[in-house]
Structure 1
Amino acid sequence: MAIRDWHENDRPREKLLKFGATALSDAELLAIFLRVGVKGKSAVELSQDLLDEFGSLDSLLKAEQARFCEAKGLGEAKYVQLKAVLEMARRHFESGLTKGDALTQPETVAQWLNLQIGHSDREIFGMVLLDQQHRVINFQPLFYGTLNQASVHTREVVKTALDNNAAAVILAHNHPSGDPTPSQADLDLTRQLSEALSIMEIRCLDHIILGDHGRWCSLAQLGKMANL
């Protein structure tokens, strides 16, 4: 049965307009992006096939260009469209953070960071640089490592903060393994960098660790920063 023959409350577009985007499944959201299905399959059915093929919506969105484009129902035009959508989302979060207080919205900071480095299959360490009012100046990726660890140099971290005239920073890195739970090494690194930054009167407010499927962890929310 074609989607147009479904009950109004079951059609993805009408469902979104009536109940909001959060009411839709991953397959329904992807179907709206695809707009049409393929012969013998509706857009929703095709979307579910793609989610099964890639393993998750997150994996599909992070897929390399070649793999994405060769999947049935996708292609280069959809790849370009997807990248444009993701970039608009990144700029949307960035604009909101630049104008607001980063400390009052850790979830937004984490979502923004996920768009910055969450897609990588190798570890990336960086810093959110903040002004005196704790508004975001920018995000600076600093070190790139293997799947297991990144080599982070304290001197470079402090220099970057000073060069950007930052009054405070939020440390950030991703765990390509998918689990954002902080390791003892993460805690030790945070302590080391916090102490070095404090000498220059720069506060280290948080360390956000990104996992897969939108998962993240804030050391400040866990109460770990006060114990460092």
Structure 2
Amino acid sequence: MSHDLFSSLVSFEFSASVPLLVCDVAGEYRLAEADEVLLAAQRLLARRVRGSDALSSPALVRDFLRLRHGALECEVFAVVHLDSQNRVLDYVEMFRGTVAQTSVYPREVVKDAMARNSAALLLVHGHPSGLAEPSLADEALTQTLKTALSLVDVRVVDHLIVGGREIYSMAEHGLM
């Protein structure tokens, strides 16, 4: 998903009188398109999230996830990798599905956690329908992943479901 058009942003200010400009690969400035603004915001939030304490900075993590998953047209399952101090190591989109479901393979999640030396994970996926409530399949998947990851001493801190602007935390609702 990288775009070569982003070599520079002229301004982070936004108002009707101050346009947001981008410098393309040829060095020419032009008005930014909506997708480019969103991509720039995602990159900025990703830099801020990486290394932050996911549990003491939940608003920052949630803002990042809303931006990444809130407007997707298909379900995407992702993992936020954490170190032993709950600092964000990485964010990885692992599986893409359809408008109503995605297939998640526990073996691949465990392999990815081991490859990144993660101590804990935040599981994340979006509901393109806009409803952030978990399905029974979401709850079963969470338990399956918790069991598989516990075998290699990786904790599952939460499973967050993004439905538009809303985020449902399974941990906050006692489902972990």
Q: Does 2:155 correspond to 1:216?
A: no
Select 2:93's aligned residue among 141, 145, 167.
141
* 2:51–2:89 contact (8 Å) kept in structure 1: no
Matches of 1:185 and 1:191, distance apart in 2: 10
Q: Show the counterpart of 2:17.
A: 35
Classify the secondary structure of the residue corresponding to 1:104.
coil
* 2:126–2:162 contact (8 Å) kept in structure 1: yes
Select 2:72's aligned residue among 110, 120, 127.
120
CA-to-partner distance for each residue in 1:94-135, whole Å, 9 max, x for gaps? 233223210123232121112223321010001001112111
Matches of 1:98 and 1:91, distance apart in 2: 11
Matches of 1:94 and 1:135, distance apart in 2: 13
TM-score normalised by length of structure 2:
0.79
CA-to-partner distance for each residue in 1:126-158, whole Å, 9 max, x for gaps? 100111211111111111111111111110110
> Which runs of no fewer than 5 residues in structure 2 stay unpaired?
1-13, 19-29
Matches of 1:140 and 1:107, distance apart in 2: 19
Select 1:106's aligned residue among 35, 58, 62.
58
Runs of 4+ in 1 over 4 A off after TM superposition: none
CA RMSD after TM alignment: 2.0
Select 1:163's aligned residue among 115, 121, 129.
115
* 2:80–2:89 contact (8 Å) kept in structure 1: yes
Q: Show the counterpart of 1:150.
A: 102
Name the count of aligned residue pairs.
153
Once the two structures are aligned, what percentage of the paired residues are identical?
40
Matches of 2:75 and 2:33, distance apart in 1: 27
Letter in 2 for 1:158: V
Matches of 2:79 and 2:67, distance apart in 1: 14
* 2:86–2:120 contact (8 Å) kept in structure 1: yes
Structural mapping, 1:183-202, within 5 Å = 183-202=135-154
Pick the structure with more helix per residue: 1
Q: Does 2:153 correspond to 1:204?
A: no
TM-score normalised by length of structure 1:
0.62
Letter in 2 for 1:180: A
Classify the secondary structure of the residue corresponding to 2:78.
strand
Pick the structure with more strand per residue: 2
Letter in 2 for 1:220: A
Matches of 1:191 and 1:185, distance apart in 2: 10
Classify the secondary structure of the residue corresponding to 1:224.
coil
Letter in 2 for 1:113: L
- Displacement after TM superposition at 1:81 (Å): 4.2
